[in-house]
Protein backbone atom coordinates (compact mmCIF):
# COMPACT_ATOMS: atom_id res chain seq x y z
CA UNK A 1 0.00 0.00 0.00
CA UNK A 2 2.97 2.28 0.57
CA UNK A 3 4.21 1.49 -2.93
CA UNK A 4 0.84 2.38 -4.42
CA UNK A 5 0.67 5.56 -2.29
CA UNK A 6 -2.66 4.70 -0.67
CA UNK A 7 -1.56 4.03 2.91
CA UNK A 8 -3.09 6.10 5.73
CA UNK A 9 -2.12 5.81 9.40
CA UNK A 10 -5.73 5.20 10.44
CA UNK A 11 -5.63 1.94 8.46
CA UNK A 12 -3.64 0.44 11.34
CA UNK A 13 -6.91 0.23 13.27
CA UNK A 14 -9.02 -0.82 10.28
CA UNK A 15 -7.01 -3.49 8.45
CA UNK A 16 -6.19 -6.89 9.94
CA UNK A 17 -3.45 -8.55 7.87
CA UNK A 18 -3.36 -12.33 7.90
CA UNK A 19 -0.66 -14.56 6.49
CA UNK A 20 -2.38 -17.23 4.42
CA UNK A 21 -2.43 -18.97 1.07
CA UNK A 22 -5.41 -18.98 -1.31
CA UNK A 23 -4.24 -22.25 -2.83
CA UNK A 24 -4.25 -24.18 0.47
CA UNK A 25 -7.08 -25.81 2.43
CA UNK A 26 -8.71 -23.20 4.67
CA UNK A 27 -6.17 -20.71 3.26
CA UNK A 28 -3.56 -22.46 5.44
CA UNK A 29 -5.09 -20.80 8.53
CA UNK A 30 -5.65 -22.67 11.79
CA UNK A 31 -9.21 -23.70 12.62
CA UNK A 32 -9.71 -21.07 15.30
CA UNK A 33 -8.78 -18.17 13.02
CA UNK A 34 -10.73 -19.61 10.08
CA UNK A 35 -13.89 -20.08 12.16
CA UNK A 36 -13.63 -16.61 13.69
CA UNK A 37 -13.19 -15.00 10.29
CA UNK A 38 -16.35 -16.63 9.02
CA UNK A 39 -18.26 -15.38 12.06
CA UNK A 40 -16.93 -11.81 11.70
CA UNK A 41 -17.13 -11.21 7.94
CA UNK A 42 -20.29 -9.82 6.32
CA UNK A 43 -19.07 -9.55 2.72
CA UNK A 44 -16.30 -11.09 0.62
CA UNK A 45 -14.60 -9.12 -2.15
CA UNK A 46 -12.62 -11.76 -4.00
CA UNK A 47 -10.06 -10.25 -6.35
CA UNK A 48 -7.18 -12.50 -5.39
CA UNK A 49 -5.64 -13.99 -8.53
CA UNK A 50 -2.40 -14.46 -10.39
CA UNK A 51 -2.84 -11.99 -13.26
CA UNK A 52 -0.32 -13.13 -15.84
CA UNK A 53 -0.75 -13.38 -19.61
CA UNK A 54 2.37 -15.48 -20.10
CA UNK A 55 1.96 -18.43 -17.74
CA UNK A 56 0.03 -21.53 -18.76
CA UNK A 57 -3.34 -22.66 -17.42
CA UNK A 58 -1.68 -25.33 -15.28
CA UNK A 59 0.61 -22.74 -13.71
CA UNK A 60 -2.29 -20.40 -12.93
CA UNK A 61 -4.68 -23.13 -11.80
CA UNK A 62 -3.68 -23.13 -8.08
CA UNK A 63 -4.22 -19.41 -7.44
CA UNK A 64 -7.07 -18.72 -9.85
CA UNK A 65 -9.13 -21.92 -9.75
CA UNK A 66 -8.27 -23.57 -6.44
CA UNK A 67 -8.24 -20.14 -4.79
CA UNK A 68 -11.79 -19.47 -6.00
CA UNK A 69 -12.93 -22.92 -4.85
CA UNK A 70 -11.48 -22.28 -1.39
CA UNK A 71 -13.23 -18.90 -1.23
CA UNK A 72 -16.58 -20.51 -2.08
CA UNK A 73 -15.96 -23.14 0.61
CA UNK A 74 -15.20 -20.36 3.08
CA UNK A 75 -18.37 -18.46 2.18
CA UNK A 76 -20.43 -21.62 2.74
CA UNK A 77 -18.52 -22.91 5.77
CA UNK A 78 -21.65 -22.48 7.90
CA UNK A 79 -24.59 -23.21 5.56
CA UNK A 80 -26.98 -21.28 7.82
CA UNK A 81 -24.95 -18.06 7.46
CA UNK A 82 -23.40 -18.05 3.99
CA UNK A 83 -21.39 -14.93 3.18
CA UNK A 84 -22.17 -13.06 -0.08
CA UNK A 85 -19.30 -12.81 -2.58
CA UNK A 86 -18.42 -9.90 -4.84
CA UNK A 87 -16.32 -11.78 -7.40
CA UNK A 88 -13.84 -9.94 -9.62
CA UNK A 89 -13.36 -11.63 -12.99
CA UNK A 90 -12.07 -10.46 -16.36
CA UNK A 91 -13.61 -9.45 -19.66
CA UNK A 92 -11.08 -11.88 -21.16
CA UNK A 93 -13.46 -14.78 -20.47
CA UNK A 94 -15.62 -13.49 -23.33
CA UNK A 95 -14.89 -14.50 -26.89
CA UNK A 96 -14.03 -11.52 -29.09
CA UNK A 97 -17.26 -11.69 -31.05
CA UNK A 98 -19.50 -11.35 -28.00
CA UNK A 99 -21.25 -8.07 -27.20
CA UNK A 100 -19.97 -6.68 -23.90
CA UNK A 101 -23.26 -4.83 -23.40
CA UNK A 102 -25.05 -8.13 -22.80
CA UNK A 103 -25.10 -9.87 -19.42
CA UNK A 104 -23.81 -13.27 -20.54
CA UNK A 105 -23.63 -16.25 -18.21
CA UNK A 106 -20.40 -18.22 -18.27
CA UNK A 107 -22.53 -21.26 -19.13
CA UNK A 108 -23.16 -19.65 -22.53
CA UNK A 109 -19.51 -18.90 -23.26
CA UNK A 110 -17.28 -21.44 -24.98
CA UNK A 111 -13.67 -21.63 -23.76
CA UNK A 112 -12.44 -22.81 -27.17
CA UNK A 113 -11.32 -19.35 -28.35
CA UNK A 114 -9.67 -18.23 -25.12
CA UNK A 115 -6.14 -17.38 -26.14
CA UNK A 116 -4.14 -17.63 -22.92
CA UNK A 117 -3.90 -19.49 -19.65
CA UNK A 118 -5.13 -16.53 -17.62
CA UNK A 119 -8.43 -16.27 -19.50
CA UNK A 120 -8.83 -20.05 -19.36
CA UNK A 121 -8.24 -20.16 -15.60
CA UNK A 122 -10.72 -17.34 -14.97
CA UNK A 123 -13.29 -19.07 -17.20
CA UNK A 124 -13.03 -22.22 -15.07
CA UNK A 125 -13.18 -20.13 -11.89
CA UNK A 126 -16.37 -18.46 -13.14
CA UNK A 127 -17.86 -21.89 -13.80
CA UNK A 128 -17.29 -22.69 -10.12
CA UNK A 129 -18.88 -19.39 -9.14
CA UNK A 130 -21.89 -20.09 -11.37
CA UNK A 131 -22.36 -23.51 -9.77
CA UNK A 132 -22.30 -21.83 -6.36
CA UNK A 133 -24.93 -19.33 -7.56
CA UNK A 134 -27.09 -22.19 -8.85
CA UNK A 135 -26.86 -23.75 -5.39
CA UNK A 136 -28.14 -20.55 -3.78
CA UNK A 137 -25.01 -18.57 -2.90
CA UNK A 138 -25.38 -14.78 -3.26
CA UNK A 139 -22.77 -13.57 -5.77
CA UNK A 140 -22.23 -10.62 -8.09
CA UNK A 141 -19.64 -10.92 -10.87
CA UNK A 142 -17.56 -7.98 -12.10
CA UNK A 143 -15.73 -8.59 -15.37
CA UNK A 144 -13.00 -5.99 -15.65
CA UNK A 145 -11.45 -4.65 -18.81
CA UNK A 146 -8.12 -2.81 -18.84
CA UNK A 147 -7.38 -1.20 -15.48
CA UNK A 148 -5.07 1.81 -15.59
CA UNK A 149 -3.31 4.10 -13.12
CA UNK A 150 -4.85 5.70 -10.04
CA UNK A 151 -6.35 9.05 -11.07
CA UNK A 152 -5.05 10.73 -7.91
CA UNK A 153 -1.47 9.48 -7.73
CA UNK A 154 -0.65 7.81 -11.04
CA UNK A 155 0.15 4.59 -9.16
CA UNK A 156 -0.18 1.51 -11.36
CA UNK A 157 0.39 -2.23 -11.46
CA UNK A 158 4.10 -2.67 -12.05
CA UNK A 159 3.46 -5.92 -13.97
CA UNK A 160 0.75 -4.55 -16.27
CA UNK A 161 1.40 -4.82 -20.02
CA UNK A 162 1.11 -1.11 -20.76
CA UNK A 163 3.13 -0.10 -17.71
CA UNK A 164 5.96 -2.41 -18.80
CA UNK A 165 5.67 -1.30 -22.43
CA UNK A 166 5.84 2.42 -21.61
CA UNK A 167 8.76 1.76 -19.27
CA UNK A 168 10.72 -0.04 -22.00
CA UNK A 169 9.92 2.64 -24.59
CA UNK A 170 11.31 5.31 -22.26
CA UNK A 171 14.38 3.17 -21.56
CA UNK A 172 15.28 2.66 -25.23
CA UNK A 173 14.14 6.19 -26.21
CA UNK A 174 12.17 5.02 -29.23
CA UNK A 175 8.74 3.81 -30.29
CA UNK A 176 7.34 2.27 -33.49
CA UNK A 177 5.92 4.99 -35.75
CA UNK A 178 2.69 3.07 -36.30
CA UNK A 179 2.01 3.24 -32.56
CA UNK A 180 0.92 6.87 -32.97
CA UNK A 181 -2.36 5.71 -34.51
CA UNK A 182 -3.16 3.23 -31.73
CA UNK A 183 -5.53 3.78 -28.84
CA UNK A 184 -6.86 1.75 -25.96
CA UNK A 185 -9.65 1.99 -23.41
CA UNK A 186 -9.09 1.77 -19.68
CA UNK A 187 -10.55 2.65 -16.30
CA UNK A 188 -8.55 4.23 -13.45
CA UNK A 189 -8.05 1.65 -10.70
CA UNK A 190 -9.43 3.89 -7.93
CA UNK A 191 -12.61 4.51 -9.92
CA UNK A 192 -12.98 0.79 -10.64
CA UNK A 193 -12.78 -0.03 -6.92
CA UNK A 194 -15.31 2.73 -6.21
CA UNK A 195 -17.74 1.26 -8.75
CA UNK A 196 -17.51 -2.24 -7.27
CA UNK A 197 -18.08 -1.02 -3.71
CA UNK A 198 -20.93 1.24 -4.86
CA UNK A 199 -22.71 -1.53 -6.76
CA UNK A 200 -22.17 -4.07 -4.00
CA UNK A 201 -23.79 -1.74 -1.46
CA UNK A 202 -26.79 -0.89 -3.64
CA UNK A 203 -29.77 -1.95 -1.54
CA UNK A 204 -32.03 -1.93 -4.60
CA UNK A 205 -29.86 -4.43 -6.47
CA UNK A 206 -30.37 -8.16 -6.16
CA UNK A 207 -27.55 -10.68 -6.36
CA UNK A 208 -26.78 -12.67 -9.48
CA UNK A 209 -25.69 -9.66 -11.54
CA UNK A 210 -22.86 -9.67 -14.07
CA UNK A 211 -21.24 -6.27 -14.60
CA UNK A 212 -18.83 -5.50 -17.45
CA UNK A 213 -16.60 -2.68 -16.27
CA UNK A 214 -14.92 -1.31 -19.36
CA UNK A 215 -14.58 2.21 -20.68
CA UNK A 216 -15.48 2.97 -24.26
CA UNK A 217 -16.46 6.54 -23.51
CA UNK A 218 -12.90 7.81 -23.11
CA UNK A 219 -10.09 6.37 -25.23
CA UNK A 220 -6.42 6.82 -24.44
CA UNK A 221 -4.43 7.73 -27.54
CA UNK A 222 -0.86 6.46 -27.77
CA UNK A 223 0.07 9.75 -29.40
CA UNK A 224 -0.84 11.47 -26.12
CA UNK A 225 1.28 8.94 -24.22
CA UNK A 226 4.29 9.77 -26.40
CA UNK A 227 3.68 13.51 -25.91
CA UNK A 228 3.51 12.86 -22.16
CA UNK A 229 6.89 11.12 -22.23
CA UNK A 230 8.41 14.18 -23.87
CA UNK A 231 6.76 16.40 -21.23
CA UNK A 232 8.48 14.25 -18.59
CA UNK A 233 11.83 15.09 -20.16
CA UNK A 234 12.36 11.83 -22.04
CA UNK A 235 14.17 12.17 -25.36
CA UNK A 236 12.29 9.86 -27.68
CA UNK A 237 11.91 9.30 -31.41
CA UNK A 238 9.65 7.34 -33.70
CA UNK A 239 11.43 4.71 -35.78
CA UNK A 240 10.44 2.20 -38.44
CA UNK A 241 8.35 -0.65 -37.05
CA UNK A 242 10.77 -3.36 -38.16
CA UNK A 243 13.71 -1.47 -36.68
CA UNK A 244 11.84 -1.15 -33.38
CA UNK A 245 10.99 -4.86 -33.41
CA UNK A 246 14.64 -5.76 -33.86
CA UNK A 247 15.59 -3.38 -31.07
CA UNK A 248 13.05 -4.90 -28.70
CA UNK A 249 14.17 -8.45 -29.43
CA UNK A 250 17.56 -7.62 -27.92
CA UNK A 251 16.07 -6.98 -24.47
CA UNK A 252 14.64 -9.46 -21.96
CA UNK A 253 11.03 -10.45 -22.82
CA UNK A 254 11.11 -7.93 -25.67
CA UNK A 255 9.41 -10.32 -28.09
CA UNK A 256 6.34 -10.35 -25.85
CA UNK A 257 5.87 -6.62 -26.42
CA UNK A 258 6.35 -7.05 -30.16
CA UNK A 259 3.71 -9.77 -30.31
CA UNK A 260 1.19 -7.79 -28.31
CA UNK A 261 1.60 -4.25 -29.58
CA UNK A 262 1.14 -5.38 -33.18
CA UNK A 263 -1.55 -7.91 -32.30
CA UNK A 264 -5.01 -8.04 -30.82
CA UNK A 265 -4.45 -5.52 -28.04
CA UNK A 266 -4.99 -2.66 -30.47
CA UNK A 267 -8.60 -3.51 -31.14
CA UNK A 268 -11.48 -1.54 -29.70
CA UNK A 269 -13.84 -3.00 -27.13
CA UNK A 270 -17.35 -3.67 -28.40
CA UNK A 271 -19.09 -2.42 -25.32
CA UNK A 272 -19.03 0.14 -22.56
CA UNK A 273 -19.57 0.65 -18.89
CA UNK A 274 -23.11 1.75 -18.26
CA UNK A 275 -22.83 4.96 -16.20
CA UNK A 276 -26.57 4.83 -15.60
CA UNK A 277 -26.05 1.60 -13.65
CA UNK A 278 -23.39 2.90 -11.28
CA UNK A 279 -24.40 6.58 -11.24
CA UNK A 280 -20.76 7.63 -10.92
CA UNK A 281 -18.68 9.83 -13.18
CA UNK A 282 -15.36 8.48 -14.41
CA UNK A 283 -12.34 10.74 -13.82
CA UNK A 284 -11.15 12.48 -16.95
CA UNK A 285 -8.30 10.70 -18.69
CA UNK A 286 -6.40 13.73 -19.92
CA UNK A 287 -2.87 15.11 -20.16
CA UNK A 288 -2.63 15.57 -16.38
CA UNK A 289 -3.66 11.95 -15.80
CA UNK A 290 -1.11 10.64 -18.32
CA UNK A 291 1.70 12.71 -16.78
CA UNK A 292 0.91 11.31 -13.31
CA UNK A 293 0.97 7.78 -14.72
CA UNK A 294 4.29 8.21 -16.50
CA UNK A 295 5.83 10.06 -13.57
CA UNK A 296 4.96 7.14 -11.28
CA UNK A 297 6.55 4.68 -13.72
CA UNK A 298 9.72 6.77 -13.96
CA UNK A 299 10.12 7.27 -10.21
CA UNK A 300 8.89 3.95 -8.85
CA UNK A 301 9.33 1.27 -11.52
CA UNK A 302 12.15 2.36 -13.85
CA UNK A 303 14.49 2.83 -10.89
CA UNK A 304 13.82 -0.62 -9.38
Query: Which structural domain range is residue 229 located in?
Result: 151-184+219-301
The model's pTM: 0.89
Indicate the pLDDT class of residue 265, thresholds 50, 70 and 90: very low
Same-domain status, 125 and 36:
yes
Same-domain status, 267 and 139:
no
Residue 120 placed within a domain: yes
Residue 88 placed within a domain: yes
Residue 212, number of CB atoms within 10 A of its CB: 24
What's 89's DSSP letter?
E
How many distinct structural domains can be found in the chain? 2
Same-domain status, 272 and 232:
yes
Same-domain status, 93 and 163:
no
Same-domain status, 160 and 295:
yes
Residue 288 placed within a domain: yes
Tell me if 95 sits within 8 A of 109, measured CB to CB: yes
Q: Write phi, then psi, for 222 (nearest 5 degrees).
A: -65, -25
Same-domain status, 115 and 229:
no
Residue-wise pLDDT tens digits, 113-126: 888 899 999 999 99
Strand partners, 44: 85
Indicate the pLDDT class of residue 278, thresholds 50, 70 and 90: low
Same-domain status, 49 and 110:
yes
Residue 211 placed within a domain: no
Q: Provide the CATH number for the domain around residue 122.
A: 3.40.50.720
Percent of the chain residues past pLDDT 90, beyond the cut: 69
Same-domain status, 121 and 238:
no
Amino acid sequence: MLFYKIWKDEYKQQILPLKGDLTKFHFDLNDEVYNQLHDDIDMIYHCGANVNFILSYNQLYPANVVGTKEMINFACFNPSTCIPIQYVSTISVLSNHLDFNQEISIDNISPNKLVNGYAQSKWVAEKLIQKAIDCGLSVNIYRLGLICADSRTGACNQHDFYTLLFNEIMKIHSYPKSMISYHFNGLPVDFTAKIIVHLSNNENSKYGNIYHLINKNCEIKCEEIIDGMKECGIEIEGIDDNEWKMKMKTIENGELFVGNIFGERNGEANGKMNNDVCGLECPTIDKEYIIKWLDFILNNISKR
